[in-house]
Structure 1
């Protein structure tokens, strides 16, 4: 393990600012901070983001969460307590900021306040989830990538392209869909000096391979779950072939959090057995 490498998950939580979002709530404070929307946001954050970090085999990481300066105090307290309870106060950093470019704000914070390690792997994680071994695997790949850096190429992006889409229905049920897509926020990490003037949210995803050094991992296993629901802040691209019951059961080895969700294939199977 490289003691000069830190793992930093970065989450945008109901943040009113520029960050590639496309929905109307992302631009309007009244919609973004509506109590009903915040309740849904928190439920997903707790069941997906925090649950997947709680279950990591390698717990040496930080969660850097960016939220709006005007997030209600009671909701901020709810989020803070959940982070502390599920992953620990020592792993949690919560930034309340006014409207600005999220990527630039996060980049400056990492450079100025998290510069105790020479290198960092900066990992995108919004209301989605990563596999139980994601920190361990990302760390191993990042450590190797660092050995290949040169003055001309001091950083690279890691893209774990294989995952799942979690389709959250209005009735609370969840379907899983296989997903294979490099260079999106899911499974994406920027590896480089902690002082680098880059951030994974400051990225033109369609041009990653042309503009940056990259390492892409396509494997016969999932590294993430992309949550698609009725309050997404970006377009939810997905396939249409649902994972069958056996595949859903197998996914639980990578995502124990699935045991606490209402998985449609398993629910339907149980009903059929009755």
Structure 2
């Protein structure tokens, strides 16, 4: 059985809908999304958290579409191209403003391999990370656990529900253990290659309404960013105590390919006042 692994990341994608905390007016939304300070923050997370976990995948056979607006501004457009140019699994896709799901659905549908038996779709935000064995696991665990459900229902999901929150405040980073059901990072939907919908058509927190699913909690499988630019709410009281910096560095390097000290240094540099 051939399982194609196909992911999507929306990088400050200018669309109608798709956000919880953005102005509804498209021009107002453009000003917020493309604000230089905001883009500098998103690019820092993308470079130091998101991309290391993509490069470190032990199974390199996957495709990841990074989707942004056709009018995505310079110098950030060039910077995005530079950061992704050496990663063959990543394809940058520029799309004009449209309704959120209508803009993203064709990106995934046109990249689904009709010769595959199953397409495993996943979604990540630009401040997320996945464990280095995520791609390998979603192939193995489908064959081991999920295939009977898929063959009976035509759709199935696997939710890796243990991971970390990487929190940033006052220019400092801290790592916290987290168990959470149906969060978007490390959540996979398996579908036929000709399926009319994409992973983004299914509200992640309501996935159980649309298909059977498995929840696996044996390993730490995701990092989710928590900071001032979050679109979705997440009360800080839900965080565990912070892990010590040495332990945080060990976890992020071993499971995600992330250099915690380098990320922390980049945050500190970004927060430092400009002299002169």
Question: 1:58/1:136 Cα in 2 relative to 1: closer, same or farther (>3 Å)?
Answer: same
Are the aligned partners of 1:25 and 1:32 in contact in 2 as well (CA < 8 Å)?
Answer: no
2:11 paired with 1:10: no
Are the aligned partners of 1:110 and 1:195 in contact in 2 as well (CA < 8 Å)?
Answer: no
**1:238-266 C-alpha deviation (Å, 9 max, x unpaired):** 52322332642541321231342229xxx
**1:49-81 C-alpha deviation (Å, 9 max, x unpaired):** 111101111111111111112101432221122
For residues 225-244 of structure 1, the aligned pairs below 5 Å read: 225-238=223-236, 239-244=238-243
- What's the C-alpha RMSD, in Å, of the aligned pairs? 2.2
Question: 1:113/1:124 Cα in 2 relative to 1: closer, same or farther (>3 Å)?
Answer: closer
Question: 1:114/1:76 Cα in 2 relative to 1: closer, same or farther (>3 Å)?
Answer: farther
Which runs of 5 or more structure 1 residues have no equivalent in the other structure? 264-274
State how many pairs are aligned.
255
What's the CA shift for 1:237? Answer: 4.4
2:23 paired with 1:22: no
What's the CA shift for 1:181? Answer: 0.9
What does residue 44 of structure 1 align with?
Answer: 45
What does residue 138 of structure 2 align with?
Answer: 138
2:260 paired with 1:262: no
Question: 1:197/1:146 Cα in 2 relative to 1: closer, same or farther (>3 Å)?
Answer: farther
What does residue 183 of structure 1 align with?
Answer: 182
Are the aligned partners of 1:146 and 1:192 in contact in 2 as well (CA < 8 Å)?
Answer: no
Which runs of 5 or more structure 2 residues have no equivalent in the other structure? 266-276
TM-score, normalisation: structure 2: 0.83
Select between 70-79 and 9-18 the one with higher mean Cα deviation: 70-79
Are the aligned partners of 2:18 and 2:100 in contact in 1 as well (CA < 8 Å)?
Answer: no
The separation in 2 between residues aligned to 1:202 and 1:32, in whole angstroms, is 22
What does residue 271 of structure 1 align with?
Answer: none
What does residue 272 of structure 1 align with?
Answer: none
TM-score, normalisation: structure 1: 0.84
The separation in 1 between residues aligned to 2:16 and 2:170, in whole angstroms, is 28
Question: 1:110/1:204 Cα in 2 relative to 1: closer, same or farther (>3 Å)?
Answer: closer
SS across alignment from 1:254: helix
The separation in 2 between residues aligned to 1:121 and 1:237, in whole angstroms, is 31
